[in-house]
Amino acid sequence: SPTEEQLDPTNPASDALIEQRIMVRFEHYGWCVGTVTAKVNDGRRTIERDRVNFVAKFDVDNGAATDLSLESSMYDGSPSAEYESWLLFEPVLAPTEAAALAAAAGGAIVA
């Protein structure tokens, strides 16, 4: 799951979530597939008092932007996950992990 730094939109590490495929479990729709499209740095933007930190576009909404409050405690892809639970299709790697994988594969990552 993403690190706390990656979930903080003011931290450069959060850039790793942009364009990631995501699933969120919504109360009336179940699991929905989308793409994280932007970070939200405005602390006044909230959903039921939870700070909005990202925006995603979901296939079910015909690409309409949806505010999200992604918290590590809600990262859960199990069938019995609570509403507002979420997961990423591919793990987000920290830069050092990505570089190590590239080196192991014989390639290099240029930052």
pLDDT per residue as tens digits for the range 42-92: 878 888 788 899 999 998 878 789 999 999 999 998 988 999 999 998 766
**pLDDT one-digit tens code per residue, 60-69:** 878 789 999 9
Long-range contacts of 38-47, Cβ-Cβ distance < 8 Å, separation of 24 or more: 38/65, 39/9, 39/14, 39/15, 40/9, 40/67, 41/9, 41/10
Taking the model in full, what pTM does it have? Answer: 0.77
**Where in the chain are the domains?**
4-104
**Euclidean distance between the first and final Cα of the chain, in Å?**
22
> In angstroms, rounded to a whole number, what is the distance separating the alpha carbons of residues 61 and 46?
20
> In angstroms, rounded to a whole number, what is the distance separating the alpha carbons of residues 88 and 1?
8
